[in-house]
Structure 1
């Protein structure tokens, strides 16, 4: 493979302007196409085979419009002075209802002056709007449009109106722009320190931007033929931006080293792509494998996020092995132009890392014990990780959804923010006077944790009942799921109960994800280890790499537990306390935040792939050194010394990109930002800088051992350049020499 990549890199270097023009043209055409034809999204939250999905399907059968996901919008009313029953305010509400009925796609508007529509204090009310169709309609946009229509008469009468969140977690609108710009600026600063020249620093930024432009264009157009969640482009940007800059940085460092050794430009590009380009391909492959494994989770949103984010990684790999060599061929020695004062260093040997690598190689047992203790301390808090539903009570106080959440809780109780929807199938046609209807309602009312049960609605054929249930607890409270389970456990003769709603749906999705997590983890670990085995032909190295990645994940989950489950950092990252803890000063500073149950699996897939990047970069350098002279201890020291500065710079860039997203107000984005940044920081420093080198020194020649039978059947896909590393066979090691 190295020879093929070398020829590709050499061709791109010789035809740099053509390659550059093609990439820029492709990015422009795809971006233009998405502007013309749009970026349709479809947040498919179906959970095939689950009880919540059965309930949601039954809701669409004869209960009228508005029972599709996102088909109902609630407008919360509040007057601080007087009540909603006063004549001027009531007249304003009636006028607002008329305005809402004129809005296109509105099928039904329910007045707040109905049973259960106004709170006991008469100051808080709720208008319910049922939409005729939700096909291609954004729930958030519908809420904005309806609020704008109702606001004028209500505001004039002194009534505040805010929309409750009409969507699911998949419908979150994450406005990108600021976070990406902050990440790029910090990345540019790190690159300036790493290279010392503006031209060299701009190449990874430019290639990453082109890669993201192409990737987002492809993702946008795919929305016309496949389900693309609204959050997918942002997550794809986060991952694609990080790996795109990292891959280009790795190649650029190798190229500048070859230039410093006097290698001609085109030959330097060819050797760079031949050796380091192979590492980029295999590193990208591990990320794609990890993300693609999310398709096994059985949750449509995770499935879509997995393969769509993988597209951005594919684009990053392709630009790295084609666009980067093209730019290097065009610039030649001008890569070192525009040197910035106070940035970078004249040397390229990374002498600081060379000294550290010698120190680690000289005392492997001590380093192993200390790093193991540190990583254990970072991982222990992960046992206290608290999973749950993240509702709008943890949202930014400045958002209308948070305001609506607080008003509903104050007026109707915490359960009003997450009503449980019960659909009961009966054996024969019934009407509202039949005993079975009152029996179902009465049995649900007796369930512990139920606050209020609304009157049952009967569908057109009279064979199904729809009942809205308000629990005593907020959607994020674990006890709400207990209420769901208790209702499902009811045994009513002649009645088949199914429970839906946001809480029930998330609970079912979580159960399914937990059930399939071992499969996803097993597939990711096995396929990634197999890819490393093909790359380095060393089974012990492949197995050890998988274990090291799992260790870094433990540290990431430990950090999440400290920040969110213990609450030591929740306020520091800009989160507002939920209404339930406001009052006591310390509680507003240190409050716990539940982590969505699907987040650990998503983080596992992303982090396992990204962590393998640094493993591949380090092992490639160590393998090249070992193939030259066969001294294990020396090759580990040389490999760490050669890549330490590059890996550190790459990790700083990745951490900067992820940390920038912590500034976004959405708590789910903050969770991802903290988890990804913490894991990359630990992985690139403690694990790759200390733990991996110390274990490699202790393993000695066992690192590169391979059974003869396995050596015969494995295809030769070595990622080192053949002209740089004459392949030397590694025989079964002598146990007495393994410490060499």
Structure 2
């Protein structure tokens, strides 16, 4: 593989303009096409085989789309000056209802002046609108149009806020300043690392081309597959990080070879043959980890996984083609535009090599100390709180947050997460007052934690009944999930009870994640270790690398638990508490983490952590093959990659921290978890723990049984051409960076 990559890199360096123009045209065409003909996004958060999904299907087929998820929209009314039943506000509300009934797709509008439609203080009312024939993927646009129709009520001094009836897949996370901040921070790190503006701009340019190409493909794929609205932001977050990092690894290797006097094209060829192989294998581990999410049994999560993998594929392709093309075109000008007072580092990495030697002289002490520090980081993970995140934690002043607060104040916290009980009957009924239906309603009312039960509705066939039950608890309260399970446990002879709604769906999602998590983790660890085995032909190294990555994951989950579950600084990352009683509450409060986030985070982190492992092991392996001294190889490998890995980690951390500014809670959790894990991985684990274990293992690092060596294909990640004596045509003093 290294020879093939070397030939590819050499060809790209000699035909730089062709490669550069081709990539720019491809990126512009894909991004332009996706903007001109954007593929539809999907709000399908279905989980096949779950009870909530069965209830949802019964609602659609038996009661019409007006009772299914996305078929009902609610408008909250609030009169600050007095009761809604006063003459002026009441007439304004009635005019609003008349206007709503004329809107497209509206089949029924329920007035707030009904039982259960107005609060006890008569100041908060609820208009319920049933829809049919509308595009459920455009629920947000439909809601805004209906809200606009309530202007007569607003003109009368009433506050009108649409309630949030969306699912997690409905949340459209739009791009914003975080991407720009991340790129600027990455550029600053690169300038300090290389000391020249030209060299610093190469990884930025390549990453932007990579992200644009990936987003273009993802946007167009929306026409042929169900594409979640979160796909773009996840692809951008990961694509920026890996795109800059992979280009950085190649560029730093190329500049070292130039400093040794190797001609430009030959330097590019050797760079792609060696570091390019590491990029391909590193990207492969990320893709494997993300692809394993297909086994999670959650279509939304599976799609997010392979869609994010597209951005990684784009990053790998641009790294092994566009980077060598740019390096060939720039030649020695890659070191142009030096920044005053910045040297860009040396080529030998004496400081990191010295650290490697220091670790090699006291491996046991370093191992124990590192384990204790990492254990302290991971300890809070035991307190990780998973659960649904309702709009009570939304951004202050936003419509969903305001609607949530009005609903909870006027009708109770459980009104924000009603349970939709759909039961199939043993025989046809014609009246909701028949004994079997009455018995079922009574059983639902008797469930501990149910505050209110609405009148039952019989479907057109008379074989199903729908009952809306309001729990005592908010959707994010753990007790709401227990109410779901208790209602499902109702036993009425001949009746099969199913529970749907947002709370039931998120409860089922959590149960499915808990069931499938061991399988996904096992597959990711096994396949990643297998890929490392193919790369280095060393079983011990492959197993150890997988274990080290799990250690960095422990630190990430510990950080998540500390910030969100324990609440240390949750306000500092931009989360707003449901209730603000003091300044302390503003900064320290517990926030539940959606059940699917840890599994997605695991897949992403495991792949990204393996990147640094591959680059470090590649350098150690090359040194070991040259002289056979394991301790010296560890010191030299750390010396040659320490600055690169540290710079790459700083870039990743900067990009991920920038995304914490997003108002969406899911993006915040990813930003915190990824930033902490990468920082710990690149310092404590790669700087201390990995070198210490490699020194202690000695020659066992590279041991491979003969039978295994015979059957393994020759896919070695480390190229050896770069170790051949250089035959430079000229030698110029070049200041090499990282």
State the TM bucket, normalised to the shorter chain: over 0.9
Report the equivalent of 2:731. Answer: none
The answer to whether the Cα contact below 8 Å between 1:66 and 1:133 also exists between their aligned partners in 2 is no
Report the equivalent of 2:607. Answer: 609
Q: Equivalent residue of 2:172, what SS?
A: coil
Q: Equivalent residue of 1:498, what SS?
A: strand
Cα distance in 2 for residues equivalent to 1:388 and 1:136? 26
The answer to whether the Cα contact below 8 Å between 2:27 and 2:209 also exists between their aligned partners in 1 is yes
Report the equivalent of 1:454. Answer: 454
Cα distance in 1 for residues equivalent to 2:708 and 2:281? 20
Q: Equivalent residue of 1:138, what SS?
A: helix
The answer to whether the Cα contact below 8 Å between 2:271 and 2:722 also exists between their aligned partners in 1 is no
Cα distance in 2 for residues equivalent to 1:154 and 1:426? 42
Report the equivalent of 1:633. Answer: 631
Q: Equivalent residue of 2:340, what SS?
A: coil
* Residue 496 (str. 1) matches residue 491 (str. 2): no
Cα distance in 2 for residues equivalent to 1:349 and 1:145? 64
Report the equivalent of 2:403. Answer: 404
Cα distance in 1 for residues equivalent to 2:345 and 2:51? 65
C-alpha distance 310-511 of structure 1, shift in aligned 2 (>3 A) = same
Q: Equivalent residue of 2:717, what SS?
A: coil
Deviation at 1:372, TM superposition (A): 0.6
Report the equivalent of 1:258. Answer: 257
Deviation at 1:209, TM superposition (A): 0.6
Deviations 1:232-275 (A, max 9, x none): 11101101110000000000000000000000000000000000
* Residue 309 (str. 1) matches residue 308 (str. 2): yes
Cα distance in 1 for residues equivalent to 2:355 and 2:135? 59
The answer to whether the Cα contact below 8 Å between 1:627 and 1:725 also exists between their aligned partners in 2 is no
Report the equivalent of 1:730. Answer: none
Q: Could you tell which deviates more after superposition, 569-578 or 530-539? A: 569-578
TM-score (normalised: structure 2) = 0.96
Cα distance in 1 for residues equivalent to 2:37 and 2:113? 43
User: 1:339-358 counterparts in 2 under 5 A?
Assistant: 339-345=338-344, 347-358=346-357
Deviations 1:30-72 (A, max 9, x none): 1121122213111321111111111000001232332333222
Report the equivalent of 1:298. Answer: 297
Q: Equivalent residue of 2:227, what SS?
A: coil
Report the equivalent of 1:686. Answer: 684
The answer to whether the Cα contact below 8 Å between 1:405 and 1:417 also exists between their aligned partners in 2 is yes
Q: Equivalent residue of 2:265, what SS?
A: helix
Report the equivalent of 1:736. Answer: none
The answer to whether the Cα contact below 8 Å between 1:655 and 1:681 also exists between their aligned partners in 2 is yes
Deviation at 1:136, TM superposition (A): 5.7
Report the equivalent of 1:41. Answer: 41
Deviations 1:10-39 (A, max 9, x none): 000000000000000001111121122213
Deviation at 1:185, TM superposition (A): 0.5
The answer to whether the Cα contact below 8 Å between 1:65 and 1:108 also exists between their aligned partners in 2 is no
Q: Equivalent residue of 1:161, what SS?
A: strand
Q: Equivalent residue of 1:365, what SS?
A: helix
- Tell me the matched-pair count: 723
Deviations 1:149-168 (A, max 9, x none): 21x21111110011111210
Cα distance in 2 for residues equivalent to 1:60 and 1:310? 34
C-alpha distance 266-155 of structure 1, shift in aligned 2 (>3 A) = same
Deviation at 1:429, TM superposition (A): 2.0
Report the equivalent of 2:227. Answer: 228
Q: Equivalent residue of 2:424, what SS?
A: strand
Q: Equivalent residue of 1:525, what SS?
A: helix
C-alpha distance 195-473 of structure 1, shift in aligned 2 (>3 A) = same
Deviations 1:521-544 (A, max 9, x none): 111000000000000010000000
Q: Could you tell which deviates more after superposition, 37-46 or 61-70? A: 61-70
Cα distance in 2 for residues equivalent to 1:185 and 1:694? 35
User: 1:516-665 counterparts in 2 under 5 A?
Assistant: 516-579=516-579, 582-665=580-663
Cα distance in 1 for residues equivalent to 2:646 and 2:165? 43
Deviation at 1:88, TM superposition (A): 1.1
Deviations 1:688-724 (A, max 9, x none): 1110011101111111110011011101111111323
The answer to whether the Cα contact below 8 Å between 1:70 and 1:134 also exists between their aligned partners in 2 is no
Report the equivalent of 2:181. Answer: 182
Q: Equivalent residue of 2:461, what SS?
A: coil
Cα distance in 2 for residues equivalent to 1:177 and 1:322? 29
Cα distance in 1 for residues equivalent to 2:551 and 2:462? 57
Report the equivalent of 1:384. Answer: 383
Deviation at 1:320, TM superposition (A): 0.2
The answer to whether the Cα contact below 8 Å between 2:70 and 2:136 also exists between their aligned partners in 1 is no
Deviations 1:190-219 (A, max 9, x none): 000110111111111111111111101111
Deviation at 1:93, TM superposition (A): 1.0
Q: Could you tell which deviates more after superposition, 337-346 or 74-83? A: 337-346
Cα distance in 2 for residues equivalent to 1:475 and 1:328? 55
C-alpha distance 496-136 of structure 1, shift in aligned 2 (>3 A) = closer
Report the equivalent of 2:716. Answer: 718
User: 1:91-102 counterparts in 2 under 5 A?
Assistant: 91-102=91-102
User: 1:199-210 counterparts in 2 under 5 A?
Assistant: 199-210=198-209
Cα distance in 2 for residues equivalent to 1:573 and 1:165? 23
Cα distance in 1 for residues equivalent to 2:28 and 2:364? 54
Report the equivalent of 1:416. Answer: 415
Cα distance in 1 for residues equivalent to 2:234 and 2:405? 29
Deviations 1:651-675 (A, max 9, x none): 1111111111111112221111111
Report the equivalent of 2:68. Answer: 68
* Residue 444 (str. 1) matches residue 462 (str. 2): no
- What stretches of structure 2 of length at least 5 have no aligned partner? 725-738
- What stretches of structure 1 of length at least 5 have no aligned partner? 727-740
Aligned with 1:670 (options 668, 671, 685): 668
TM-score (normalised: structure 1) = 0.96
Cα distance in 1 for residues equivalent to 2:438 and 2:83? 33
Report the equivalent of 2:140. Answer: 140
Q: Could you tell which deviates more after superposition, 312-321 or 657-666? A: 657-666
